[in-house]
Amino acid sequence: MTTQAVALPSTPPTVSRRQAWLRGARELLLHAVLQDRVLSRFYPGVMHFMLFWGVSIQILGTIVNLLQYPLFVPFTIPWPKGGWYLGFELVMDIAGGMILVGVLMAALRRLSFRPKFLVNRWEDWAALVLLAVIAVLGFLTEAFRMSSVDPAWRAWSPIGNATAVWLGLTGPVGQPVHDWLIAGHVVVSLGLVALMPFTKMRHLFVGPLNILVRPERRNGELSTIEDIENTEKLGVANATEFTSPSLVSFDACVQCGRCESVCPATISGMPYNPRTLIHDLQVNAHATFGQKPGEELKPILGETIAKETPWMCTTCGHCLAVCPLFIDPVSAVVDLRRYMTLTTGEVPGAVGEALTNIERRGNPWGMEKAQRAPWVSELGVRVLQPGDETDVLLFVGCAYAYDARSQKAGRELAVLLQRAGVDFAVLGQAEGCCGETARRLGHEYLFQTTAQENLATFAGVKFNRMATACAHCYNTLKNEYPHFGAEFEVVHHTELLAELVQAGKLKGFTPAADGKTLTLHDSCYLGRYNGLYREPRQVLDAVAGVKRTEMPRSQAEGFCCGGGGGQMWMETDPNTRINKRRFEEATKQAGADVIVTACPYCLIMFDDAIRTGGASERVAVKDIAEVLTERQPG
Ligand code: SF4
Ligand code: SF4
């Protein structure tokens, strides 16, 4: 047995300076130079590749050209010469062509098949027009140089040469024009450089900077307010209260709309949009930092951003996953929520109720501890006392303990573990809420208190690893508790079940012969934040004859159920419900009769969609554990 060493004081992970440098270099190479995220979408990826590499090569080539003259440094670099020069000419020529192709692709996308999330602003067109003019002037300059000098290597500058031929330029007549073209080329290029800080082109510098300075946290981990008892500023009221990396990130946004295109709140029609949120924060920050000393700082909430806005995000993380510049709307939303929850108290009624329930009763349902998980005593599950030992400590979580629908799923999980002979136990009434809901609703103080109480309880028992069936508890225990000193292994029930199936400890499933089609809904906190896509599918596929289908949006592209980020506790407009949209995707597009979940929040959200949609007769939602016990005779 392993005794768990749990230190209560906050212990942020430390890395050496060398590790930090190496990490920074790797991140820059992968995301800024190779641009893996930009290239993840074909058309805009190729378009950006053309523009980025075309412009970068041209800038580098221009620097090389300038170093041929003693302009800025007291020496010249006599390179490139001979064969190198021919190669240099060819590369510069191709780079100019790449800029033109990129500009053409961008213009076509904006004019002809513009995705609805792509906004057209003056600065987008200014950048494209200037880039096109620079490239065209460059080719014209080259064409007139060809006609004046008529070098033997003309073929090494194919586009410049073709331009000269196309214009019918011959002989030295072009020299004066050539000089004017060079001057024009330089002026327009300097104009572009001068415009950079005032347009989205600044992302050329701010983007890599944001990649370098973004906080190093685990996936799915929110920032911690350190020494919260003595901290005066709780949350963010105005731009000066954001951290410097946050401000850099707002400035890096290019308004590409990728976040908007995947945001479940936006797609479902809520008046919320992560692109607009970041844009508004950027505008507010510029205005705030431009204020005169002594002026009252511009508030964000109620002025730049409506007070209701931050409550619409489900914290599903899809925006973070697709943003090519690693901008984090979730952290911004939580910072704003923290201000409302901890400083002004202006929170929606349902949010206040859930938080009060956690404070007073230790769970967002507001139920008595005595009502916890009746299945524990029914099934004779061992309840640990201080000093007791077990192999697997099952962290039940509030949903499986108090929500009537989820209790059924919790029961089936316990049945499976008993059948598989797993040495497991629970903490019973000593288990508290993991604090996930409180944290995402902005109540950092309540989260830290509950986390510390739980860690003290964990320290009193011995276990080898902790298992939980809730994706939210899983993420919090695995990714957020380590900041407070937790050092134990956490597994999700789908991982544990997959392991038991593979080891042959869960077997004898009766083949599925009911002809029903199953589809697995990927919980955001399980998949997107923790990469668990394979395990739940392995478990389902262990039942012979199961007809399993995928929804159009699954795995990394999965669409939220609408319950995360505290949304489960909020009143939402029936016309913009995310769970309804996802339910229709599962049934109408994937043709599923059974929606399988691996998280109680998803289970509850689908259950709600089925009941409110009057579909109980034809569709069912089941936790993955329920699917297994149904097909395993007791
Ligand atoms: S936050 Fe990222 S994904 Fe969203 S618009 Fe800005 S750059 Fe694009
Ligand atoms: S976390 Fe999800 S709901 Fe929130 S802004 Fe991002 S994509 Fe939208």
Nearest to 469 by CA among 375, 549, 389: 375
Question: Is the pLDDT at 15 greater than 90, yes or no?
Answer: no
The model's pLDDT over 305-348, given as tens digits with 9 standing for 90+, comes to 999 999 999 999 999 999 999 999 999 999 999 999 999 999 99
Q: Which residues line ligand 1 (CB under 6 A)?
A: 253-259, 274-275, 278, 323, 325, 327
Asked whether residue 233 falls in the same domain as residue 150, the answer is no
Question: Is the pLDDT at 598 greater than 50, yes or no?
Answer: yes
For residue 162, the domain's CATH number is 1.20.950
Lowest mean pLDDT among 161-175, 257-271, 371-385, 563-577: 161-175
**546 band by pLDDT with thresholds 50, 70 and 90:** confident
Asked whether residue 439 falls in the same domain as residue 316, the answer is no
For residue 212, the CA-to-ligand 2 centroid distance in Å is 23
Q: Is 369 exposed, middle or buried (0-12, 13-18, 19+ CB in 10 A)?
A: middle
Q: Is 293 exposed, middle or buried (0-12, 13-18, 19+ CB in 10 A)?
A: exposed
Question: Is the pLDDT at 166 greater than 60, yes or no?
Answer: yes
Q: Which residues of 3-42 are buried (b: 16+ CB within 10 A; e: fewer)?
A: ebebeeebeeeeeeeeeeeeeeeebeeebbeebebbeebe
Question: Is the pLDDT at 510 greater than 90, yes or no?
Answer: no
Write down the pTM of the prediction: 0.93
Question: Is the pLDDT at 261 greater than 80, yes or no?
Answer: yes
For residue 316, the CA-to-ligand 2 centroid distance in Å is 5
Token pair of 554 as six digits = 């699954």
What is the pLDDT at residue 14? 61
As a whole number, the mean pLDDT across the chain is 94
Q: Mutate which of 255, 263, 326 to test ligand 1's pocket (most atoms within 8 Å of Cβ)?
A: 255
Return the residue whose CA atom lies nearest to atom 1 of ligand 2: 315
For residue 127, the CA-to-ligand 1 centroid distance in Å is 18
Q: Where does a domain end: 183, 209, 235?
A: 209
Q: How far is CA 293 from the centre of its chain?
A: 37
Q: Which residues of 55-81 are buried (b: 16+ CB within 10 A; e: fewer)?
A: bebbeebeeeeebeeeeeeeeeeeebe
d(CA 68, CA 78): 6
What is the pLDDT at residue 130? 97
The model's pLDDT over 364-409, given as tens digits with 9 standing for 90+, comes to 999 999 999 999 999 999 999 999 999 999 999 999 999 999 999 9
Residue at 526 is within a domain: yes
Query: What is the pLDDT averaged over residues 496-515?
Result: 90
Residue at 15 is within a domain: no
Among residues of the chain, what percentage have pLDDT more than 90?
88
Residue at 68 is within a domain: yes
The answer to whether 167 and 143 have CB atoms below 8 angstroms apart is yes
Q: Where does a domain end: 500, 525, 544?
A: 500
Q: Mutate which of 116, 123, 256 to test ligand 1's pocket (most atoms within 8 Å of Cβ)?
A: 256
d(CA 279, CA 367): 41
Question: Is the pLDDT at 150 greater than 80, yes or no?
Answer: yes
Asked whether residue 116 falls in the same domain as residue 190, the answer is yes
The answer to whether 538 and 532 have CB atoms below 8 angstroms apart is no
**12 band by pLDDT with thresholds 50, 70 and 90:** very low
The model's pLDDT over 425-477, given as tens digits with 9 standing for 90+, comes to 999 999 999 999 999 999 999 999 999 999 999 999 999 999 999 999 999 99
Q: Is 171 left (phi over 0), alpha (psi -120 to 50) or beta?
A: left
What is the pLDDT at residue 8? 37
d(CA 321, CA 528): 8
Nearest to 482 by CA among 471, 490, 494: 490
The answer to whether 66 and 72 have CB atoms below 8 angstroms apart is yes
Question: Of ligand 1's atoms, which has the minimum distance to the CA of residue 256?
Answer: 8
Question: Is the pLDDT at 4 greater than 50, yes or no?
Answer: no
What is the pLDDT at residue 173? 65
The model's pLDDT over 180-235, given as tens digits with 9 standing for 90+, comes to 999 999 999 999 999 999 999 999 999 999 999 999 899 999 999 999 999 988 99
Pairing of strands 517-520, 594-597: parallel
**111 band by pLDDT with thresholds 50, 70 and 90:** very high
Question: Of ligand 2's atoms, which has the minimum distance to the CA of residue 277?
Answer: 5
Question: Of ligand 2's atoms, which has the minimum distance to the CA of residue 266?
Answer: 8
Asked whether residue 535 falls in the same domain as residue 448, the answer is no
Structural domains of the chain, count? 4
d(CA 53, CA 58): 8
587 contacts: CB under 8 Å, gap ≥ 6: 595, 615, 619
For residue 323, the CA-to-ligand 1 centroid distance in Å is 5
Query: What is the pLDDT averaged over residues 583-612?
Result: 97
Asked whether residue 98 falls in the same domain as residue 189, the answer is yes
Q: For residue 559, give the ligand nearest its CA.
A: 2
Question: Of ligand 2's atoms, which has the minimum distance to the CA of residue 330?
Answer: 1
For residue 404, the domain's CATH number is 3.40.50
Residue at 382 is within a domain: yes
What is the pLDDT at residue 31? 95
Residue at 372 is within a domain: yes
Residue at 22 is within a domain: no
Lowest mean pLDDT among 12-21, 176-185, 475-484, 558-567: 12-21
Query: What is the pLDDT averaged over residues 39-63?
Result: 96
What is the pLDDT at residue 5? 36
Q: Mutate which of 263, 305, 309, 523 to test ligand 2's pocket (most atoms within 8 Å of Cβ)?
A: 263
Residue at 8 is within a domain: no
For residue 256, the domain's CATH number is 1.10.1060
Asked whether residue 411 falls in the same domain as residue 474, the answer is yes
What is the pLDDT at residue 543? 87
What is the span of the domain harbouring residue 412?
Answer: 365-500
Query: What is the pLDDT averaged over residues 335-362?
Result: 97
Question: Of ligand 2's atoms, which has the minimum distance to the CA of residue 320?
Answer: 6
The model's pLDDT over 73-105, given as tens digits with 9 standing for 90+, comes to 788 888 899 999 999 999 999 999 999 999 999
Question: Is the pLDDT at 589 greater than 90, yes or no?
Answer: yes
Asked whether residue 329 falls in the same domain as residue 380, the answer is no
What is the pLDDT at residue 13? 53
Asked whether residue 188 falls in the same domain as residue 46, the answer is yes
Strand partners, 463: 390
Asked whether residue 196 falls in the same domain as residue 307, the answer is no
Asked whether residue 138 falls in the same domain as residue 244, the answer is no
Residue at 44 is within a domain: yes
Q: Mutate which of 117, 267, 314 to test ligand 2's pocket (most atoms within 8 Å of Cβ)?
A: 314
Q: Which residues line ligand 2 (CB under 6 A)?
A: 262-265, 274, 313-319, 329-330
For residue 272, the CA-to-ligand 2 centroid distance in Å is 9
Asked whether residue 50 falls in the same domain as residue 195, the answer is yes
Asked whether residue 427 falls in the same domain as residue 490, the answer is yes
